[in-house]
């Protein structure tokens, strides 16, 4: 799956962005499929905005986000839904764990969305054990700590097929040991699918063997 940006500029940040240089905003670029990509930027400079544009849940921009050569705006709602089920997965900064469901139900909701689930229930248990959240799987989303929510959101993003995984500060609530474990799992799941990822964060890190670094 091809993702390209053509002179993408967020309308609310236009004046600020055009006053400085950026590897991403107002550029023409194609993310090479299968690449591990890090986008670094200080707080408040538009990481979440970019992630929302890539996943097509915000459209207040000029320029284009092209998916397989076509602007997001040309896709029907059902085509967008299919792409999100089969080709593009996401871990939001605000995690979006449903509080009225248990941790496991949050994961299952995504796993069984495809008639033929990509992952088995056993695989979910393995991932939960790897990220040390087995003991909270039957706890309601409301009572999970933010670190637990983040690990549940990571597993939820990994139970579906994808060619691109988009992650917005995915380790912000984790200690370094848990962050390393989660990074290893994500890298392994991307490799199995020959998928790439686009990860935003505040600082440099060496948790992944990144192919490309950008400054936002």
Ligand X SMILES: Nc1ncnc2c1ncn2[C@@H]1O[C@H](COP(=O)(O)OP(=O)(O)OP(=O)(O)O)[C@@H](O)[C@H]1O
Residues of this chain that interact with ligand X (CB under 6 A) are 12-13, 41, 43-49, 93, 202
CB nearer to ligand X: give 93 or 134.
93
- Minimum Å gap between C-beta 16 and ligand X is 8
- In terms of Cβ atoms closer than 10 Å to its own Cβ (0-12, 13-18, 19+), residue 149 is buried
CB nearer to ligand X: give 51 or 195.
51
Q: In what side-by-side order are the strands of the sheet with 196-201? A: 88-91, 164-168, 196-201, 36-40, 212-215
- Minimum Å gap between C-beta 47 and ligand X is 4
Phi-psi region of 7 (alpha: psi -120 to 50; beta: other; left: phi over 0): left
- Minimum Å gap between C-beta 42 and ligand X is 7
Long-range contacts of residues 113-116, Cβ cutoff 8 Å, at least 24 apart: 113/85, 113/160, 114/85, 114/86, 114/160, 114/161
- Minimum Å gap between C-beta 149 and ligand X is 16
CB nearer to ligand X: give 41 or 159.
41
CB nearer to ligand X: give 13 or 66.
13
Following CA atoms 29, 51, 56, 28 in sequence, which dihedral angle do they give, to the nearest 10 degrees? Answer: -10
| β-sheet bridge partners, residue 90 | 166
CB nearer to ligand X: give 32 or 44.
44
What is d(CA 40, CA 199) in angstroms, rounded to the nearest whole number? 8
- Minimum Å gap between C-beta 50 and ligand X is 7
């Amino acid at each position: 799956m091809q993702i390209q940006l053509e002179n993408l500029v967020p309308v609310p940040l236009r004046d600020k962005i055009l006053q400085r240089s950026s590897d991403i905003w107002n550029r023409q670029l194609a993310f090479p499929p299968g690449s591990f990509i890090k986008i670094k930027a200080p707080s408040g400079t538009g990481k979440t905005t970019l992630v929302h544009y890539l996943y097509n849940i915000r459209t207040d921009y000029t320029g284009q986000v092209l998916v397989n050569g076509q602007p997001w705006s040309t896709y029907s709602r059902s085509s967008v839904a299919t792409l999100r089920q089969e080709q593009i997965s996401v871990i939001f900064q605000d995690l979006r764990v449903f509080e009225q469901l248990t941790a496991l139900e949050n994961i299952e909701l995504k796993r069984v969305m495809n008639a033929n689930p990509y992952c088995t229930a056993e695989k979910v248990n393995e991932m939960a054990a790897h990220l040390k959240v087995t003991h909270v799987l039957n706890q309601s989303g409301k009572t999970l700590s933010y670190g637990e929510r983040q690990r549940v959101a990571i597993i939820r993003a990994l139970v579906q097929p994808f060619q691109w995984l988009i992650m917005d500060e995915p380790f912000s609530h984790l200690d370094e040991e848990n962050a390393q474990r989660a990074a290893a799992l994500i890298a392994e799941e991307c490799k199995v699918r020959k998928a790439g990822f686009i990860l935003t964060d505040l600082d440099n890190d060496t948790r992944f063997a990144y192919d490309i670094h950008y400054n936002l």
